[in-house]
C-alpha cells in the first residue's frame, strides 16, 4: 500500500485507528473455544465488526508464535481475511544480520515463503543499517522502526544522550538516510506524547505508529495534537481495550462500540488540521 | 542447564563449539528434498555427526519461520532430537513490552506453549529492562543479550558514545544489574575480537556467545585469547562453514570434519588457560 493510499483511507474513513490483533486464547470468549480455530474465529468477528472504522490491523506475532504451528495457521487465515484496502502490520520487532533479516522480510512479505502478505513489519534498530535495509527491498512494503517505545524500559537506552541528542532521535535521523517517508514509519509510544512535538521536527512527514492509548494510559488528544500532519501521517493502535471489551457473546458488538468511540474522537481531530 | 554444567561440558569435550543450525532449504543437499521433512532430516544428520564435538546448538529462528507452520514443525523435531546434555539457543533476537516478551519466553521455554524447550534465547536490548526481565523468570533458562554484533551496522548505534562509554558497554553494565552470570550471556561478534578485552573487564564471568568465526571472517585465536575465562565462559558459533561444507551425500561427514578441526584448535586454547 502506498503512502497516498494510506492517507486517503484516513480521510475517507475519518479514522487513523489501528486495531491490534493481540489475540490471547486465554482471554477470548469461552463459547469460541469449540471452534476448529478459535483464534481465527475471534479475529474474523473483530475484523467484520471494525473494518469500516479501522485503517490498519496489527497482529502482535508473539501471540501467534506462542501457539506453535497452529498459531501460524491462525495468522495466515487472519491476514488472508483482512480486506486488501486495509493496511496490515506484522508487529514482530525483528532484526538480525543482513542475510537473516532478508529471511524475516520474506516471512512477512513474500506469500510463497510462509504464506503471509503483510504490508509492513516492525523492526528493532539496535543492529543498525544492514539489519533494516533487507526489509526495504520489497516494493510497496514498509518498515516500522522502533524509536521511542511506551514501556518503562524505554528510559534505559532510548533516552540516553548521544552527543547532543537522545538515542531515539539518532535512530530517527539515521533511518531517514536509509529510506524515504513513503516506506518508513516510526513507533512512538503514546505515553511519550510530549516528545511527539520534537519528533515531528525531525520526522515531519513520516507516519508514526502510536501504541499505548487505552490500557497503557496514553492520551489520544495529546497524541493527535502533536502527531497529526496535514496529510494525516498517524496510526494510533488500540488492542486490549477493543478486543476484550466484553467476554460474552456480544464481544464483537462491544468491540465495535469501543472502536467507533475512538474513530469519532479521531474525526474531530482530523477536522482541526 | 546450569552455568556449572555448561562449563563442565566444555572441559569434558575440550570444545566450546556452538553449531548454528541455520538450515536453508535452498542450500541443503538435493538428495534430502525427497524426505518428508528435509530440514529435519538435514539437522538430524548434522547433530548425529557433531554431537560429541559441539557443546551447543543454535537454530536461527528466521530460517524456520520463513517456512511457515511447516518450519515450526521442523524446529520442534530438531529441538526434541538434540540430546538434553547439550545447550540449546533459540537465536530469535526477540524483545517487546513486558506482557508480550512473556509470550515470547513461553514460546521458547515452555513446552506446553509452542512445543519447544530451549535452554536460552537471544534478546535485543533496545526496549530496556522490562522487555528482558520476563525471559529471566524461568528457572534454569538463560537470556543471551545482544551487546556488540558482528555486522557493519553495529557501528550505527552500538558503538555510539553515551557519557564515557559506548552504548554496548552501557547495555552490558545495565544487564548485570538485572541478572547474574548464572543465567545471562552476551552476544559479541568475532569480528570485534579486539573489544573482547574491554568486555572481559566489565563482564568477567558471563558467558559470551561469539558468532562470526568462519564465513564472517572472525579469528578463533583472537576470540579465544581475549574471551576465555578460567571457567571456560565462551561459546563460539559456526554455521555455514560447517553446514554447507559439502552439498553431496557426504555433507554430514564433511560437516563433522570441519567441526572437529575447530574443536581441536579449541582444545589447544583450553590447554593454555
CA distance A51 to A184: 24
Phi, then psi, of A178 in degrees rounded to 5: -80, -30
Contact (CB<8Å) A170/B152: no
Instruction: State residue B215's pLDDT score.
Output: 65
What does the pLDDT look like over A19-38, one tens digit per residue? 999 999 999 999 999 999 99
C-alpha grid cell for residue B123? 534478546
Give the Cα separation of A121 and A103 in Å (integer).
13
A128–B154 C-beta distance less than 8 A:
yes
Residues of A in contact with B155 (CB under 8 A): 128
Residues of chain B found within 8 Å of residue A74, distances taken between Cβ atoms: none
Contacts for A250 with CB less than 8 Å, ≥ 6 apart: none
Query: Has residue A239 got a pLDDT over 90?
Result: yes
Q: Catalytic positions of B, please?
A: 93
Mean pLDDT of all residues in A38-42:
98
Residue of B nearest to A128 (CA): B153
Q: What angle do CA B116, A68, B125 make, to 5 degrees?
A: 70
Between chains, do B70 and A70 touch, taking CB under 8 Å as contact?
Answer: no
Tell me the C-alpha distance between B249 and B198, whole Å.
44
The pLDDT of residue A215 is 65
Count of pairs with CB atoms under 8 A, one residue in A, one in B: 186
| pLDDT at residue B217 greater than cutoff 80 | no
pLDDT for A212 equals: 82
Q: Is the pTM of this model over 0.90?
A: yes
pLDDT tens by residue, A245-265:
999 999 999 999 999 999 999
Query: How many Å apart are CA B266 and CA B15, to the nearest integer?
Result: 6
Residue of B nearest to A66 (CA): B107
pLDDT tens digits, A133-175? 999 999 999 999 999 999 999 999 999 999 999 999 999 999 9
Mean pLDDT over each residue of chain A, to the nearest integer: 96
Q: What cell numbers appear for B136 in the block?
A: 529471566
Interface test with B, best of A24, A40, A69 (most B CBs within 10 A): A69
Picking from B67, B107, B158, the nearest residue to A66 by CB comes out as B107
Would you call A151 and B128 a contact, using CB atoms and an 8 Å cutoff?
yes
What is the pairing mode between strands B165-166 and B161-162? antiparallel
Model pLDDT for residues A65-96, shown as the tens digit of each residue? 999 999 999 999 999 999 999 999 999 999 99
With CB atoms and an 8 Å threshold, state whether B98 touches A70: no
Query: In this complex, do B66 and A96 lie within 8 Å of one another by their Cβ atoms?
Result: no
| Relative orientation angle of helices B69-81 and B38-50, to the nearest 10 degrees | 20
Using the beta-carbon criterion (under 8 Å), do B146 and A126 form an inter-chain contact? Answer: yes
Residue located via cell numbers 506462542: A66
Is the pLDDT confidence value at B240 over 90?
Answer: yes
Nearest CA in chain B to A105: B66
Query: Among partner residues A114, A161, A167, which is closest to B68 by beta-carbon distance?
Result: A114
Q: B129 to chain A nearest CA, in Å?
A: 5
pLDDT tens column, A176-228? 999 999 999 999 998 878 899 999 999 999 999 999 887 667 799 999 999 99
CA distance A7 to chain B (A): 28
Task: Identify all chain A residues contacting B171, using CB atoms and an 8 Å cutoff.
Answer: 157
User: Does residue B214 register a pLDDT over 90?
Assistant: no
DSSP A125: -
Q: Is residue B250 scored above 90 in pLDDT? A: yes
Q: Which of B96, B127, B171 sits opposite A62 (nearest CB)?
A: B96
| Record: contact B69-A69, CB cut-off 8 A | yes
Our answer to whether residue A194 is catalytic in this structure is: no
B245-264 mean pLDDT:
97
Mutation site for A-interface testing, chosen from B61, B121, B151, B240 by largest number of A Cβ within 10 Å: B151
Shortest distance between the Cα of B271 and any Cα of chain A, in A, equals 33
Q: How far apart are CA A141 and CA A146, in angstroms?
A: 16
Partner-chain contact A157 B128, CB within 8 Å: yes
Residue of chain A nearest B115, judged by CA positions: A68
User: Are the beta carbons of A95 and B93 separated by less than 8 Å?
Assistant: yes
Partners of A244 on chain B (C-beta within 8 Å) are none
Question: Minimal Cα–Cα distance from A271 to chain B, Å?
Answer: 33
Of B116, B130, B153, the CB nearest to A127: B153
Tell me the ipTM for this assembly: 0.96
H/E run at residue A242: helix A240-243
Instruction: Give the span between the Cα atoms of A97 and B29, in whole angstroms.
Output: 24
Averaged pLDDT, B112-141 = 97
Q: What's residue B243's pLDDT? A: 97
- Chain B residues whose beta carbon lies within 8 Å of the beta carbon of residue A63: 100, 103
Closest to A110 measured CA to CA, from A95, A94, A90: A90
Amino acid at each position: 500500500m502506498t503512502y497516498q493510499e494510506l492517507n486517503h483511507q484516513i480521510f475517507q474513513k475519518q479514522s487513523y485507528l489501528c486495531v491490534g490483533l493481540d489475540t490471547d486464547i486465554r482471554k477470548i470468549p469461552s463459547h469460541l473455544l469449540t471452534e476448529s480455530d478459535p483464534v481465527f474465529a475471534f479475529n474474523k468477528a473483530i475484523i467484520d465488526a471494525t473494518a469500516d472504522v479501522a485503517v490498519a490491523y496489527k497482529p502482535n506475532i508473539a501471540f501467534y508464535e506462542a501457539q506453535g504451528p497452529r498459531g501460524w495457521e491462525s495468522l495466515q487465515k487472519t491476514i488472508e481475511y483482512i480486506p486488501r484496502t486495509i493496511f496490515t502490520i506484522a508487529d514482530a520487532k525483528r532484526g538480525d544480520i543482513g542475510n537473516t533479516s532478508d529471511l524475516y522480510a520474506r516471512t512477512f512479505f513474500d506469500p510463497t515463503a510462509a504464506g503471509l502478505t503483510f504490508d509492513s513489519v516492525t523492526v528493532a534498530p539496535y543492529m543498525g543499517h544492514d539489519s533494516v535495509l533487507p526489509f526495504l527491498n520489497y516494493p510497496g512494503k514498509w518498515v516500522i522502526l522502533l524509536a521511542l517505545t511506551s514501556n518503562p524500559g524505554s528510559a534505559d537506552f532510548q533516552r540516553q544522550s548521544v552527543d547532543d541528542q537522545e538515542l531515539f532521535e539518532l535512530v530517527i535521523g539515521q533511518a531517514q538516510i536509509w529510506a524515504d517517508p513513503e516506506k518508513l514509519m516510526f513507533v512512538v509510544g503514546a505515553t511519550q506524547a510530549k516528545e511527539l512535538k520534537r519528533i515531528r521536527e525531525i520526522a515531519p512527514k513520516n507516519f508514526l505508529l502510536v501504541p499505548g492509548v487505552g490500557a497503557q494510559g496514553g492520551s489520544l488528544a495529546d497524541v493527535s495534537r502533536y502527531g497529526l500532519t496535514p496529510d494525516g501521517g498517524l496510526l494510533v493502535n488500540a488492542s486490549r481495550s477493543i478486543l476484550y471489551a466484553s467476554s460474552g457473546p456480544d464481544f464483537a458488538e462491544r468491540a465495535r462500540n469501543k472502536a467507533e468511540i475512538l474513530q469519532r474522537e479521531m474525526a474531530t481531530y482530523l477536522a482541526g488540521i
